[in-house]
Amino acid sequence: MAQSDPEPEPTTEAEAEAAEQPGVPVKTQAEKDAEAAERARNAENRFQWWCAGLTVMVGVFLLSGMLQSDQSFGVLGWLGAVLTYICLIALTAAYVLCARERVKLRTRVLGPVDLFQASTVVVVIAVICGLLVPTNSKSALALLFPWALSYWMYGLHRTKKPAD
């Protein structure tokens, strides 16, 4: 009578090598899924840190352009600069909070409006006000890159609609 093998055959070369070595545990599918989810979460957090850093760099570029400008700023220019920096601080805080996993982009902030939608409004205000600052540099447009990254991350976690 043939004895059945209680362990299934390894499916990949790495699992085959691990199965041959004594004392090396073979990972289950649940463990692999947990590791993949952890890697994805870490990658998303790194992207959020990059968004925060890029937003700070936009602020530095705007300030540099303002300090190097020979033009005098009127009321509209100063109002644009102040509003732009308020928006930059808000965006940086939002990206840092997301990176530290205090909030998510889908966290509701005002009624049906989530954090990503609110940050989109803030980005639009920051770009418009940044363009009001009378310098030759259009650094405020660089805010669209971190926003695009957050838009991509926002789309990664779409809620699935139940099948009819």
What pLDDT does residue 80 have? 86
Query: Residue 164: is its pLDDT beyond 50?
Result: no
What pLDDT does residue 150 have? 86
* Nearest one of 129, 115, 152 to 58, comparing CA atoms: 129
Instruction: Report the SS3 class of residue 67.
Output: helix
What pLDDT does residue 162 have? 45
Residue where the block lists tokens 């925060």: 52
Instruction: Domain ranges for the chain, please list them.
Output: 50-156
The per-residue pLDDT for range 76-130, each reduced to its tens digit, is 888 888 999 999 999 999 999 989 989 988 889 888 999 999 999 999 999 988 8
- pTM (2 decimals)? 0.72
The per-residue pLDDT for range 28-58, each reduced to its tens digit, is 777 777 777 777 777 788 888 998 999 999 8
Query: Residue 158: is its pLDDT beyond 70?
Result: no
Are the C-beta atoms of 156 and 87 separated by less than 8 Å? no
Neighbours of 73 (CB within 10 A): 16
